[in-house]
Structure 1
Amino acid sequence: MPLSDLTLDECHAYRSTATEPPGFDEFWSRARSSGGPADFVEVSTSLKTLRVYDVRFPGHAEQPVRGWFVTPAGADGPLPCVVEFPGYNGGRGLPEDCLLYASAGYAHLFIDVRGQGSGWRSGDTEDHEPEGTGPQHPGFMTRGILDPEKHFYRRVMTDAVRAVHAARAHPLVDPTRVAVAGVSQGGGLALAVAGLVPDLAAVSADVPFLCDMRRGAERAATGPYLEIGGYLKVHRDRVETVFATLGHFDGVHFARRATAPALFSAALMDTTCPPSTVFGAYHNYAGPKRIEVYPFNGHEGGETVQHAERLRFFADLLHP
């Protein structure tokens, strides 16, 4: 697969021109509330070295969000915790999908994204009474696209913030040692949470989606950014309205509010999240940061190589 975006030198020089919408902080102020208590119910699995809990916690509008909470068997805490978000149209899957962090000594909360979980890994969380019910292109990107109050990611990002509150409330978790992580959509959600929750211990955003979204819609050749272009191909008069809405959910703007140490990764042959969009958020990130770059990879990014790098990064900051 050839390069389809900028070279590495050009990515390092690139700066996003994304415009922050007026009232961004006010728009997100309501998402920071903690919501009600989470429910953790231990479940029996075949995993002998790990304990697994089925989790429900109140997300946006107090609607229930599901997840798995996994800890090392016999751990009595306090443990550092990694809160993880799935990629686009994936869900929490099975407990056997959630082995990495607990095996390394962390508590691990892996949550659903509401209404997703039928593309590559199953999910169990409904999107109750979705607010954005106007005409849309198939997928999630244009659901509620004409009004940021009704857009799909307003609910999802609020859920992600509430997931951190849920993890911190568990008696095994040290609330001062909580990190957020994800790949693709999950990386974009991790950046959103980093911009909305001021006291995280670490952030990991691998090949993050939802960053520099207008550029993504103009440059991506595969993946969910194409939904935006598909919508605007029909609704030719709504270009500025669409990108004004999406500006409320853009990782470029969350990044400048984030202060926790962050590890990014980008892949130069990524046609789903073009590397320049990742660097657009990376250059805006206000806290300590570094980025791993995979010159000959697409949207799979570093895969296990990056998993190992992330574990080393977390170990330095969270001390499992």
Structure 2
Amino acid sequence: MPLTDLPLEQLLAYRPEVDAPADLDAFWAGTLAAARAAGGSARLLPVEGSPLTGVDVWDVRFPGWRGEPVAGWLLAPRGAPGPLPVVVEYLGYSQGRGLPLEHLLYPAAGWAVFVMDSRGQGHETPDAHEGPAAQWVGGFMTKGVDAPQHHYYRRLYADAVRAVDFVRGLDGLVDPGRVVVAGNSQGGGVALAVAALADGLVAGAMVNVPFLQHFRRSVEIAGDGPYPEVAEYLRFHTPGAVERTFRTLSYFDGVNLAARAGAPALFSVALMDPVCPPSTVYAAYHRYAGPKEMAVWPFADHAGGRAAQLDRQLRWLARLTGHAGADGVDQRP
């Protein structure tokens, strides 16, 4: 896999001018107010008979956008004294919550984890909203792209913020002051968005090889992954559709949201990534307003740093919170 973008020395200086919509803050304030006002009740059901003898597992439904039920898994190390710090994990493009045994890393380190299903992408949280302009190409990038109030990512970001609201309300089990959002690719982009939209409600963000950044450049240069959906959509549309499409996407662009995030963040970037071009990751990183650090993987593709990045994340979490693991040993390096 060759280098796909700018060399590292240029990435370190890459700070493009990206115009945010004038009503960006009002749009998101109204969206989240509407999502919260819709109400809805959460359901937690213990999973009985699990072979995961060291972990407690709950099957969750919580109210997301318009109060619609969103699926999730909640896992916590069995017998660990609460309240526990928690990672809220968002998923990559086209992934659902899967099985509990896929999410054991953080419980093994003494943390609770809440894994949010992505509406319409998994098999347990539907997304029936189309708006007046139906999706033209497969995937989610152009779903409702005629206007920001119709776009798919308005609903997904609202669900993701409501997931933070949900875990902060788990009295006795979760420490509301130690909620960290995390994800890879789409999940990393969602984590960055939540760090901005729920600023003050999260203690940190782990943003790995994030998707949903610097849309115009990503669509122009990404050779793989979901960004080409937008190019395909625009290929057969009038020139007027180009600016309208990118204006809609600007409401969901992590570069525009990053300046509104204040929690400490650990980013990662892969310099041979054909899906999320490194320059788009750095564009968001440089705009991020909170304390931040970047893990650079020079020869990695979209998989990023793999297990080495997971190890770095656990050490970063330990420094962030001082939390000892399930065995009572302080994990700070």
Name the aligned partner's letter for residue 217 of structure 1: V
What corresponds to 2:186 in structure 1? 185
Structure 2 equivalent of residue 23 of structure 1: 23
Change (3 A) 1:50 1:232: same
Distance 1:204 1:135, change over 3 A: closer
Question: In the aligned structure 1, how far is the partner of 2:119 from the partner of 2:197?
Answer: 19
Q: Distance in 2 between matches of 1:17 and 1:289?
A: 20
* 1:111 corresponding residue in structure 2: 116
Q: Do 1:136 and 1:143's aligned partners in 2 also have CA atoms closer than 8 Å?
A: yes
- Correspondence 1:46 to 2:61: no
Question: Structure 1 residues 132, 87: CA separation in 2 closer, same or farther (over 3 Å shift)?
Answer: farther
Shift of 1:285: 0.2
Offset at residue 74 of structure 1 (A):
1.4
Aligned with 1:61 (options 47, 61, 66): 66
Alignment deviations for residues 274-293 of structure 1 (CA, whole Å, 9 cap, x no partner)? 00000000000000001011
For the pair 1:74 / 2:79, whether they are aligned, the reply is yes
Q: 1:291 aligns with which of 287, 290, 294?
A: 294
**Greater displacement, 34-43 / 70-79:** 34-43
Of 22-31 and 64-73, the range deviating more from structure 2: 22-31
Distance across 2 between alignment mates of 1:144 and 1:174: 37
8 Å CA contact 1:268–1:294 kept in 2: the answer is: yes
Q: CA deviation at 1:151?
A: 0.3
Code of the aligned partner of 1:207: V
TM-score (structure 1 length as normaliser): 0.96
- Aligned ranges 1:130-279 → 2 under 5 Å: 130-131=130-131, 133-171=133-171, 172-199=173-200, 200-237=202-239, 238-279=241-282
The structure-2 alpha-carbon separation of the partners of 1:97 and 1:143, relative to structure 1 and needing over 3 Å to count, comes to same
Moved >4 Å (runs of 4+):
none
Pairwise CA distance, 1:75: 2.6
Whether the 8 Å contact between 2:133 and 2:146 is mirrored in structure 1 is no
- The 2-side partners of 1:60 and 1:153 are apart by 11
Give the Å deviation of 1:163: 0.3
In the TM superposition, residue 39 of structure 1 has moved relative to its aligned partner by 1.4
CA contact (8 A) 2:87 2:180 kept: yes
CA distance in 1, matches of 2:131, 2:65: 11
SS at match of 2:148: coil
User: Do residues 315 (structure 1) and 310 (structure 2) align?
Assistant: no
Contact kept, 8 Å, 1:266 with 1:293, in 2: the verdict is yes
Instruction: Choose the corresponding residue for 1:92, options 97, 104, 119.
Output: 97
The 8 Å contact of residues 85 and 179 in structure 2, kept in 1 or not, is answered as yes
Retained in 2: the 8 A contact 1:132–1:151?
A: no
Range 27-36 or range 227-236, more displaced: 27-36
Conserved? CA contact 1:65–1:159, under 8 Å: yes
How many percent of aligned residue pairs carry the same amino acid? 50
> Structure 1, residues 132-182: CA drift from partner, whole Å, max 9, x if none?
652411111000011000000000000000000011111200101100000
Q: TM-score, normalised by structure 2?
A: 0.92
| Greater displacement, 14-23 / 214-223 | 14-23
Q: Compared with structure 1, are the counterparts of its residues 132 and 160 closer, same or farther at alpha carbon in structure 2 (3 Å cutoff)?
A: farther
**Secondary structure in 1 matching 2:110:** coil
Equivalent pairs, count: 315
Shift, 1:316, TM fit:
1.0
1:120 is matched with which residue? Answer: none
* Aligned CA distance change for structure 1 residues 160 and 132 (closer, same or farther; 3 Å): farther
Are the aligned partners of 1:31 and 1:161 in contact in 2 as well (CA < 8 Å)? Answer: no
- Tell me, in whole angstroms, the C-alpha distance in 1 between the residues paired with 2:132 and 2:316: 38
* RMSD over aligned Cα atoms: 1.2
Displacement, 1:76? 3.8
**Partner deviation per Cα, 1:228-262 (whole Å, 9 max, x = no partner):** 00001011321000000000000011110000000
Deviation at 1:86, TM superposition (A): 0.3
